[in-house]
Structure 1
Amino acid sequence: MTSGSSSHPAAAARQTARPGLAVTTGSVGTVRKPSVPRAASSRPPRIHGLDSLRALAVLAVVTYHLAPGLLPGGFVGVDVFFVLSGFLITTLLVRERVQTGRVSLRRFWTRRARRLLPAMVTVVVACTATAGLLGGDVLVGIRSQVMGALTFASNWVYIAQGASYSSDLSPQLFANFWSLAVEEQFYLFWPLVLLAVFTIRRSRTAGLVVTGTFAVASAVWMAVRYDPLFDPSRVYFGTDTHLFGLMAGAFFALWFAPRSPLVRDVAGAAEVLDDAPRAERTGARWTAPLARLFAVPARRRGARLALGAASAVGLVWLSFTLSVDAPSAYRGGLVLASLFTVGLIAFVVRSQPLTRRCEVAPLRWVGVRSYGLYLWHWPLLVLVSQVMGADHPGHGSPWLVVAVTLALTVAAAWASYRFIERPVMVRGIGTLLRTAWDRVRRMALVAWAERRSPARTARGRVRLAVAIAGTLLVVSSVTAAFVRAPEVSELEAEIERGAQAAADGQTSAPVTVPTAPAADPTVPTGATPDAPPSAPAVTEPAPPTAGVAAAPAGDQVTVIGDSVTLISAASLQAALPGVYIDAEVSRQMSTAPEVAAALSAGGALRPYVVLSLGTNSTVNERVMDAAIAAIGPDRTIVLVTGYGDRPWIGPTNDQMRSAAARFPNVVVADWQTTIAAHPESLGKDGVHPQASGQELYAQMLVAGLAQAQAHRSGQ
């Protein structure tokens, strides 16, 4: 980049002035404080290939949400965005510091607000208004969701509410805004940190040390905070635990910044720069590193090509193999995705001739509109699923729902970029608002003029009426959304009714049942010891109606369960009168020892103990053995397998079957097999049973208890 000579008198005077000093034309002989002038063009050169990388990242995320079975690890696209954001934002800050000697925080935050806020507010208003018209579960938590989105705190709102990324009892309309909140918080604090580094230490090395420390600390903190026995949403949503991707991108930007100190006075700069014109010299401080990036020596091309290929293959491999609930994701998997992204960006910026030739127009189109695509796709999926009566969004949707959501998402992203994002970036928010107000005022004036015109055409009045009606509809719908929002979803309400039934049963049922005389489980309930016991039938639990007569009485049974148990409490009490149910939403197998100890202390741990805790977390052999040991060998334990699309359910069920083979007092009741034959009996989330499924659950449990009694009697 060269500026050449200028014929403008002021430019000629500046070129003849002393290097390093700027002459003020307002008074003769007055020289203002030396400063590094801005380059002739303040826009950085476009790096070919980054738009395509954005496109692939957003396509991965959209595929993961719409059809997770096709790309189980597509959520790593969010981490690709994090690295890209850290790289680009830090590059802009460093570039401004190098060119002007300072960083204008006001200008930086204004640019970020222009880029992010208008499109985001549009999505929030439009989708909230639509949800207000639809009503129902899509409005659950809408007030806190909107507040979190508008205050850049969605991730912490979801953490405070205990929301789960992979499983939730009600669809979150703006669940995808958590990642925007992490980025927006980064935009707020990172310029301050970088400015402090520039001011105190004034060296690139200090910036690298600080950035690397943040990245490593965040990655380590994620690994430390993660507990495989509990829901990982806290460490996934948290800014503190998910900051490493942004910091990796920032580290990369600083690494390829000019290797001289980032803050210099002009005299020092004049000593190291040649005698080229000042605009050219200023640009050279930034363009020289870019030239080094793009002019790749032949001897290094092979190594860089290998780096790019390995990074791309690594990201593809993670996209197909990583699970958001797997321990490997939080103990290196997401960090590895960030490192692969850094490697891919390094290849892109160091291989510009190749990436420029390989750019594909459709991918670039998607990449330019990736922000809108990301904003719109999830709220539209939730709304379309509500309208079409589809299953819980995010866990696989019918192809018709996917097709409609994709079509609406592409249309909305195109309109957002065409009419909101690009105009605001070019003209500013204030100018756009003034233009909109002027247009409304002109419509009103035209309508008034047509009213008094002899021709009396109604076009202007119709347009004004439509605009006013549309505005009133949006405002009233948003208001209705806030007013009509239910406290809990239909599923949560049903679970609460089950919890109340379980609590009522605990109050009316006897709480002290001696465990020793349970004594002889071969004597059926109601028979005298002298009467010959009837032989219970040994049955498999799969046909849930078999063996009902041989099950122990309800006052001999304690059920320790989760929300699947809670929602089925009334059916359990009907099938097993007197059963003692202790269940909680999101309860996990790791809590079984303390629950069993509390029940035992209260005299409510009966001879037959059912553990229905296979839905909410991974269970390993250690956890399973601890739960069984806490209940004790003098009781018979029934382990209920879990059902759902959660990746840990299969391994957890295997652990239950393995425990039944190791312990003589343990049997398995196979809820997985029972409900798999009747998927229509499940609710929209694919986990909790509806009324018919609750009956199946109770029958399955009775059959499992019959098998347990037969097993205990040695038959």
Structure 2
Amino acid sequence: MIGHEKNITKHQTRYLHGLDGLRALAVIAIIIYHLNPKWLSGGFLGVDTFFIISGYLITSLLIHEYKHTGSINLMQFWKKRIKRLLPAVLFLISIVLIYTLMFEPNIIKNVKQDAIAALFYVSNWWYIFHDVSYFDSFKIMPLKHLWSLAIEEQFYIFWPISLLILLRIKKLKQHFLLIIFVCSLISLLTMFLITQPNVDNSRVYFGTDTRLQTLLLGVLLAYIWPPFRLKAQIHLPLKIVIESFGFISIALLIFFIMTVSSNDNWFYFGGIYFISLCTLPAIASAVHPSTFLAKVLSNRIFSWIGQRSYSLYLWHYPVITFMNKHFVQGQIPVYIIVIEIILTLILAECSYRYVEVPIRVQGFKYFLPKKSALKPLIIRSCFALILVSCSTVILLGHYDALQHEDKKEVKTTFTVTDNEPPHKSLILPVPKIIINNPQSAHQKVDYKDVPLFIGDSVMVDIGEELHKNYPNSLIDGKVGRHLYDAIPLVHDKYPYFKQQNQQVVLELGTNGDFSYEDLTKLINLFGNAKVYVVNTHVPRDWEESVNEKLAKAADAHKNVQLIDWYSTSQSHSDYFAYDGVHLEHQGVQALVSEINKHMKH
């Protein structure tokens, strides 16, 4: 999340105020998304905007330096990067570690490990190797957002060296654009090969290899459109063209931010690349000294936010994570959201004013004694010493024992079946009707009085209670199950549930969206059986889409009835665990009661 730069060489460079406006849009989108993904489903695209700006601005400054000096001072570049980025993130990590130790000691070990990964700027790979989901907001991980800084820092390490090689070797320089373009396509192809449809694609979202495409598109623009060589006075027709493309590009970016979902398959199969390409004209227009768009984006409010975008990005996520922990996700009171925003602004301003700017300008001289400012020096030195000392002790693992590992086995499945032993999560007797009528797998069994329940993790939650209410039922719940997973499941295990006097309950949609065609296909597998579809309560951007499709299916099929769990559970935070999806005892009772109302009606 690169902040504003003034000079990287002795040669004059123009400050690009328009980029502050783009940073402001990006960080606002990210913050809204993290406050509630349903409010701005594509808000995470703000990260891609930051990546493009970083690739563009860093490359522009480095090429500008090379053209004026014939070389790139790598050590000076890295020194400036360290002074610009490291102090603020050290400040953040220290505060988060101390807060966690004081108020959330049960996660101190996990936060410590994330902090170490962040300090070495390898957070993204740390999360990949530990199968962490970017889109799972249910776990308390206050430093998870530092994955993007890790990618940028990795880029800052190898790109200046690569750029210097490309510029110095004549044959490579002649094909600069082609080389960078091909590299961006290789990154895109890597994402194509790794991505799997309809699953959580956090691996491709976190990967430096798969996200390099966005940074490299910024590099391409920097070579084609060097901001420090653009003329302030240009012909009107050209100005109109630049202006028009810029405004169209901004409009497209806002459209994508409002409409794209993390659940969209196309986003990972070229969508990121396409959206990034669409963003390039906005940057080109924003950095031009003559455009109206640049003036609009550099207004006082956007400039203030843009200049503090790095601090805002750093602080918003831990503030939201720690405060939201005390409420059910998706049901956060408005006053809490207001407090989160205010706290983020205050912490970001403190970081910007007292950490980022002074150290970027003065370096370690900020901590050297001055007769005229001895008292402030003592205060900030003592504060820094306390933060460093406490953080070091925590990072060395002295408080790891405060985190008690949960030895309780978490149920991942709940099954009561006729021809297979129950899963390890829970041992329950199979239905008496089946026990008393043992048949081979190839013989048809009479399931007349045997209701079938198929679902995801919510079905696992209610499985025990359902079994009490329907002792002869077949129950098949599994954590992480998607609707399309149920189609082969029904084909293989439940092909005999097709008769008019049979009952089937489908509780699917917690883990992501699905197509209406797949939903119809699943329903049709049950022939004339009475099918009940339970809609979902999940604080994610696919909730509305899932519930609309389920309601549509209930209206379109005579044998399908909707169980409106979403409406029943509204304003009942006592029904849910912290994540706003899984159920506490009262929620279990309420959902089973709602199912009973329909099935026993």
The answer, yes or no, to whether TM exceeds 0.5 is yes
Report the secondary structure of 1:611's partner residue: strand
Query: Offset of 1:61 from its aligned partner?
Result: 1.8
Query: Which amino acid in the other structure matches residue 403 of structure 2?
Result: A
Name the SS for the 1:230 alignment partner.
Answer: coil
- Asked if the contact 1:140–1:170 (Cα under 8 Å) also holds between the matched residues in 2, the reply is no
Aligned letter for 1:408?
Answer: L
> Do the aligned partners of 1:505 and 1:581 also contact (CA within 8 Å) in 2?
no
The aligned residue for residue 310 of structure 1 is 248
1:47 maps to what in 2?
A: 16
Corresponding residue of 1:349: 287
CA distance in 2 between counterparts of 1:464 and 1:149 reads: 24
Is the Cα contact below 8 Å between 2:36 and 2:539 reproduced in 1? Answer: no
Contact 1:294 1:349 survives alignment (8 Å): no
| Pairing partner for 2:320 from 374, 378, 381 | 381
What is the aligned counterpart of 1:484 among 377, 402, 414? Answer: 402
Secondary structure of the residue aligned to 2:328 is coil
**Does residue 196 in structure 1 map to residue 165 in structure 2?**
yes
Task: Output the CA distance in 1 between the equivalents of 2:382 and 2:152.
Answer: 40
| In 1, Cα distance between equivalents of 2:310 and 2:122 | 18
Aligned to 2:465: 571
Contact 2:504–2:529 at 8 Å: present in 1 too? yes
When residues 192 and 291 of structure 1 are mapped into structure 2, their CA distance, relative to the original with a 3 A threshold, is closer
Match of 1:418 among 353, 362, 384: 353
Q: Is the 2:565–2:594 contact (alpha carbons within 8 Å) kept by the matching residues of 1?
A: yes
1:307 Cα shift? Answer: 1.7
Per-residue deviation at 1:674? 3.5
Query: Are 1:508 and 2:426 counterparts?
Result: no
Q: Shift in Å at residue 616 of structure 1? A: 0.8
Letter in 2 for 1:230: V
| Farther-moved stretch of structure 1 (675-684 vs 94-103) | 675-684
> Secondary structure of 2:62's match?
helix
Matches within 5 A, 1:550-569: 552=449, 556-569=450-463
Is the 8 Å Cα contact of residues 37 and 540 (structure 2) preserved in structure 1? no
Q: How far apart, CA to CA, are the structure 2 residues paired with 1:618 and 1:87?
A: 35
Aligned letter for 1:485?
Q
Q: 2:419 corresponds to which residue?
A: none
- Between the aligned partners of 2:301 and 2:272, the Cα distance in structure 1 is 28
Deviations 1:97-145 (A, max 9, x none): 2222223333322322222222112111211210121126765832442
The code of the aligned residue for 2:429 comes to S
SS, match of residue 165 in structure 2: helix
Q: For the pair shown, which has the larger CA radius of gyration, 1 or 2?
A: 1
Rounded Cα–Cα distance in structure 1 between residues aligned with 2:359 and 2:526: 67
Read off the aligned partner of 1:508 and give its amino acid letter.
P
| 1:141–1:566 distance in 2 versus 1, CA, 3 Å | farther
For residues 517 and 315 of structure 1, what CA distance do their matches in structure 2 show?
Answer: 56
Question: Within 2, Cα distance between the matches of 1:115 and 1:182?
Answer: 16
Amino acid at match of 1:644: V
Residue 81 of structure 2 corresponds to residue 112 of structure 1? yes
1:300, CA displacement in angstroms? 1.3
Go from structure 1 to structure 2 and tell me whether the alpha carbon gap of 1:334 and 1:466 turns closer, same or farther (over 3 Å shift).
closer
Once the two structures are TM-superposed, the CA of residue 374 in structure 1 deviates from its matched residue by 0.6
Q: CA deviation at 1:581?
A: 3.9
1:322–1:333 Cα contact (<8 Å) kept:
no
Asked if 1:408 corresponds to 2:343, the answer is: yes
Alpha-carbon offset, residue 579 of structure 1: 4.5
Alpha-carbon spacing, 1:593–1:378, altered in 2? closer, same or farther (3 Å): same
Contact 1:572/1:698 (8 A) holds in 2: yes
State the Cα distance separating 1:81 from its structure 2 match.
Answer: 0.9
How much has 1:366 moved relative to structure 2? 2.2
Per the alignment, residue 446 of structure 2 pairs with 519
Name the CA distance, whole Å, in 1 between partners of 2:216 and 2:242: 22
Distance 1:226 1:302, change over 3 A: same
Partner AA of 2:583 in structure 1: P
* Counterpart AA for 1:377: H
Instruction: Render the CA deviation track for 1:225-258: whole Å, top value 9, x for unaligned.
Output: 544422243333333333332111110111135x
- Counterpart residue number, 2:481: 587
Match of 1:623 in 2: 518
Alignment partner, residue 263 of structure 1: none
The TM-score with structure 2 as length reference comes to: 0.81
Partner of 1:367: 306
Question: Helix, strand or coil: the match of 2:208?
Answer: coil
Are the counterparts in 1 of residues 17 and 303 from structure 2 also a CA contact under 8 Å? no
Aligned to 1:694: 588
What amino acid maps onto 2:341 in structure 1? L
Q: What residue ranges of structure 2 are gaps of 5+ in the alignment?
A: 1-6, 417-421, 496-501
Deviates more, 1:130-139 or 1:415-424: 130-139
Evaluate the alpha carbon distance shift between residue 398 and residue 211 of structure 1 in structure 2; reply closer, same or farther with a 3 A threshold.
farther
Per-residue CA distance 1:414-458 (angstroms, 9 max, x = gap): 2222232223323435x55x749x99xx99xx9xxxxxxxxxxxx
Change (3 A) 1:322 1:486: farther
Q: Percent identity?
A: 28
Change in 2 beyond 3 A, CA 1:669/1:415: closer
Deviation at residue 89 of structure 1 after TM alignment:
1.1
Q: Retained in 1: the 8 A contact 2:106–2:402?
A: no
SS of equivalent to 1:643: coil
Structure 1 residues 127 and 39, CA, compared in 2 at 3 Å: closer, same or farther? closer
Aligned in 2, Cα 1:676/1:299: closer, same or farther, shift over 3 Å? closer
Q: Structure 2 vs 1, CA of residues 632 and 244 (structure 1 numbering), >3 Å: closer, same or farther?
A: same
Shift of 1:364: 2.0
For 1:338, the aligned partner's letter is S
For normalisation by structure 1, the TM-score amounts to 0.70
| SS of equivalent residue, structure 1 residue 52 | helix
SS in 2 for 1:583: strand
Q: Give SS of 1:409's match.
A: helix
* Alignment check: 8 A CA contact 2:243 2:285 kept: yes
Q: Which segment drifts farther, 85-94 or 355-364?
A: 355-364
1:616 corresponds to which letter in structure 2? N
Question: 2:351 and 2:382 mapped to 1: Cα distance?
Answer: 24
1:381 CA displacement: 1.4
1:298 to 206, 223, 236: 236
Deviation at 1:408, TM superposition (A): 2.2
The Cα offsets for residues 312-346 of structure 1, whole Å up to 9 and x where unpaired, read as 22222223333333345445554344234321221
Cα distance change of structure 1 residues 404 and 706 upon mapping to structure 2, 3 Å threshold: same
Number of aligned residues: 574
Closer, same or farther: CA 177–424 of 1 in aligned 2, 3 Å: same
- The answer for unaligned runs of 5 or more in structure 1 is 1-37, 258-288, 447-459, 522-551, 602-606, 708-715
Q: Would the aligned equivalents of 1:118 and 1:421 in 2 still touch at CA under 8 Å?
A: yes
Change (3 A) 1:642 1:140: farther
Q: Conserved in 2, the CA contact under 8 Å of 1:64 and 1:70?
A: yes
DSSP-derived class of the 2:582 partner: coil
Q: Alpha-carbon deviations, 1:684-710, whole Å to 9, x = none? A: 322122211111222334445446xxx
Q: 1:379 to 1:195 in 2, by over 3 A?
A: same
Q: Are residues 594 and 169 of structure 1, via their aligned partners in 2, closer, same or farther at CA, if it must alter by over 3 Å?
A: farther
Where does residue 88 of structure 1 map in the other structure?
57
Structure 1 position 240 matched with structure 2 position 216:
no
Q: 1:165 to 1:179 in 2, by over 3 A?
A: same
Matches within 5 A, 1:644-663: 644-656=538-550
Distance in 1 of aligned mates of 2:447 and 2:43: 55
Does residue 321 of the first structure (1) align with residue 216 of the second (2)?
Answer: no
